[in-house]
Each structure stands twice: as C-alpha cells, then as structure tokens.
Structure 1
Amino acid sequence: MISVRHLLYGACLLAALPSVTVQAAAPSDERGANAMEIVFTVDDQSITASIDDTAAGRAFVDMLPLELELTDYGNGTEKVADLPGSLPGDDAPAGYQPGVGDITLFAPWGNLAIFRKDFGYARGLVKLGRFTASFDAIDRDGPVPVRISRASP
C-alpha cells in the first residue's frame, strides 16, 4: 500500500522537474516552396507534373526538354526510361516508398521511373516529383513515347 509520505515525495519530485512543452511538428510540403512545373506530352495530350525543389529535381528540370520512350517494368508497376545524364542524389534519403503517379530516379541505374502502382520502400529510389493531373495516357501497357518540357509561365 502506498503511504501518504510516498505520495508527497512523488509529488515533490514531479514538481521539481522542468516543464516540457510538446508541440506537433508542422506539416511540411516535401516539394518545397519552389516546386517546378513540367509537362509530359503524349501524342497531343499534355499532362502536368510538379518536380520537387531538390538537387535531383533541379538537375532533372535542367535536362529538359527530353524525348524519351517509357517502357514497362516490374509487371506493369512502373514505366522507365534511360536519362541522357546522371542526377545528383547526395542530399536524398537512402530510399523511398513510391505511390501511384510518383516520378522518381532509380539512382543505382540512373533511370527515370514513373509509378503506375503503389510500391514498397526501395533503396536507391529518389523522389523527383509527381503528376498533378491524370496520367492515363502514360498509365497503359506498352511503350509510350513522351516529350518532357518545362511548363510555360
């Protein structure tokens, strides 16, 4: 049984502790304040996307315009294409868990990967951005030729 003396001792200990204020972390926009808008053109359809303000994202936008052929990979999970140069990944996390519509870099191979389906965490995957409009023209089986360019201001 707890005595009154033990209760008073515990209360004194608690009173002596410094007060701590706990605040929830403010939600952050992982794209950054300066997200860059780009356009994927498939046939005559324009599909907008937002590229994150990261070293890899900026380097990707600096490569534009690009003409690529996106091909199926991973049983239709993603569309991939080789890039004409490498992108920095030094400031990127070790990996990433992509979702539908994410535009990524698979750093070990240096290729662009667009996710058509949700996928588990993958080491070496760097998020570049995501589509801000329906990407049905890309989200189909078979090769898809695309032109990627900066959005007009």
Structure 2
Amino acid sequence: MKKMLRLASILVISVVLVACGNNDSSATERDSNTKNHLNGVAEQSKGESMADTRVKLMFSNKEVLVRMYDNPASKDFLTQLPLTITFEDYIGKEKISILQKRLSMDDVQAEELSKKGDFAYYAPWGNVAIFYKGLEDATNDLIILGQIESGKENFENVDGDFTGRIEKVTK
C-alpha cells in the first residue's frame, strides 16, 4: 500500500512538473510571438507613413490640397478614392458630404475642437466635413482626417451645393 501511495505521489508530482514546464515554454513562446508581432506592427507603421500623403479636391475650376493625418479613419478614407461627391453648406462654417461607405472607427480617438482648414469625419452621420471657419462647440464624435494646405479660401466663396472630385495625389 505504501508503495502504491509513493508511486501515485511520484506520478502526481511528475504530471505537475511537466505541466509547469510546458507553461514556461508556452509563456516563452508567447512572449516571443508578441515581440515579433509588435516588431512587425512597428515596421508596418514605418512603411506606411502618411507624412507625405495628400488628397486633392477639385471643383468649379478650383483646387484644394489636404495633407492627410496618420490614423485608421484617414487610411480607410484613402481606400475609397477617387470619389465624386456633392458638398452642401452646414451652419455657415463647414461644407459636408455623406459618404456612401462609413469609415472604420477602430482605434480612433475623436478630437475635441475643429479649426479652420480641418478635413474631418463625423461618425454619427457618416459624413466628411471641411471647416472653412472654426467650430467653437465641437462634438466629441469628430475625427480629424487631415488639414488643408492650400485653397482654404475657395470654400468661403462657394454658395450652395457643389460637386467635387477627391483624388489621392501621387508623388
């Protein structure tokens, strides 16, 4: 009987030690996989830098150049280009157009205030907005996609609706 208890004890201890050993190797493997994944993400981010990414909005023989920001919503917007959309004036401060396909909101934080020249996305309505005047009482659902670099004044002088084409500018 004592031999059976010793054998059972040895068997239980062996199983526990093997299980702990497997967990340690799994943890090491998991840490290694996590490091490889994070390195891959960092390399991918470097490769997909949007520092020089611009879009051009053309309407009524006018052109507006927007420097895009590096965020998931901006990247998703770029996949929809080229677009021909109709803008309408909204509250005398912005031109808006509802997109046919909503932008991805994964891992995106909304901005607090818009300023003149912002190119933004308003998630609840699914529309893009170009601010030609600042908006003091901004919503927390506004994602800034980019900033106008040239042609800001073209929006202030446009009355009513207008149709424009947005294209990615190639280097």
TM-score by length of 1: 0.73
Q: Which amino acid in structure 2 is aligned with residue 91 of structure 1?
A: D
Overall identity of the aligned pairs, in %: 29
Q: Which amino acid in structure 1 is aligned with residue 66 of structure 2?
A: A
Alignment match, 1:128: 145
Evaluate the alpha carbon distance shift between residue 48 and residue 72 of structure 1 in structure 2; reply closer, same or farther with a 3 A threshold: same
Q: Which amino acid in structure 2 is aligned with residue 38 of structure 1?
A: V
Unmatched tracts of structure 1, length 5 or more: 1-31
Instruction: Name which one, 1 or 2, has greater alpha-carbon Rg.
Output: 2
Evaluate the alpha carbon distance shift between residue 98 and residue 70 of structure 1 in structure 2; reply closer, same or farther with a 3 A threshold: same
SS at match of 1:138: helix
Q: Which amino acid in structure 2 is aligned with residue 147 of structure 1?
A: R
1:114 aligned onto 2:167 = no
TM-score by length of 2: 0.65
Q: Which amino acid in structure 1 is aligned with residue 105 of structure 2?
A: G
Alignment match, 1:43: 60
Alignment match, 1:141: 159
Offset of 1:131 from its aligned partner? 0.6
Q: Distance in 2 between matches of 1:79 and 1:134?
A: 14
Alignment match, 1:91: 107
Alignment check: 8 A CA contact 2:116 2:133 kept: yes
Unmatched tracts of structure 2, length 5 or more: 1-47
Q: Which has the higher helix share?
A: 2
Offset of 1:33 from its aligned partner? 4.9
Offset of 1:134 from its aligned partner? 2.2
Length, aligned pairs only: 121
1:34 aligned onto 2:45 = no
Alignment match, 1:59: 76
Q: Which has the higher strand share?
A: 1
Moved over 4 A (4+): none
